[in-house]
Amino acid sequence: MASQQELSSFLASVERRAFKQALFAVRNEETALDIVQDAMLKLAEKYAGNPANEWPMLFQRILQNVIHDHFRRQKVRNLWTTLLSALNPGREDEDQDPLEFLESQGYLGQAESAATEAERAQILRIIEAEVARLPARQREAFLMRYLQDLDVAETAAAMGCSEGSVKTHCSRATHTLAAALKARGVTL
């Protein structure tokens, strides 16, 4: 079992590299600092009792997960901001209620038919199932590139591989998904 001093020394030794990695991924110094701090805290809280030779791999995985979590939260935040701002284009009134705008435009009450909703939900379940069947690295590259909207360089940095590997993983994933969806009768 490692001592507190060994853990402190390890964290000090990886701090600069981790910051550069996070900065490259998120392109914001304050966010990168927060990400590194979160990763260090998680390592100290959950894995301080592990042997010191396991820390480098654990820390890298924790750092990648914290970066991924950041992009997931950002994606959700951006989605809601975009959706709400699209409700009333051209008007930047902060006090306007989006539901009032929808009601004034006659959009409320115009729900999709139950059949259309059910069909869309079924297609989404099929797509999710097929994505889950992809090999881990292909799934990771595919989700980062197409769900999180990361570019090839950002994905390569997050995955710890070359840009060529990311392109290969994404290409294989899209071909596999296209074939699987076509076999199940899904056309997009």
Residue 133 to residue 1: CA distance in whole angstroms? 38
Q: If you average pLDDT over residues 132-140, what whole number do you get? A: 90
Structural contact between residues 50 and 58, judged by C-beta atoms closer than 8 angstroms: yes
Nearest one of 183, 180, 141, 142 to 162, comparing CA atoms: 141
pLDDT in tens, 75-108: 877 766 665 555 445 555 555 555 555 555 554 4
Residue 80: partners with Cβ closer than 8 Å, 6 or more residues away: none
pLDDT in tens, 15-67: 999 999 998 888 899 999 999 999 999 999 999 999 999 999 999 999 999 99
Cα angle, residue 10 at apex, residues 7 and 15 outer, rounded to 5°: 120
CA quadruple 74, 75, 80, 86: dihedral positive or negative? positive
Domain residue spans of the chain: 4-82, 114-182
Q: Do the domains 4-82 and 114-182 sit in the same CATH topology, yes or no?
A: no
> The domain 4-82: what is its CATH number?
1.10.1740
Instruction: State both tokens at 114.
Output: 């139950």
The CATH-assigned architecture of domain 114-182 is: Orthogonal Bundle (1.10)
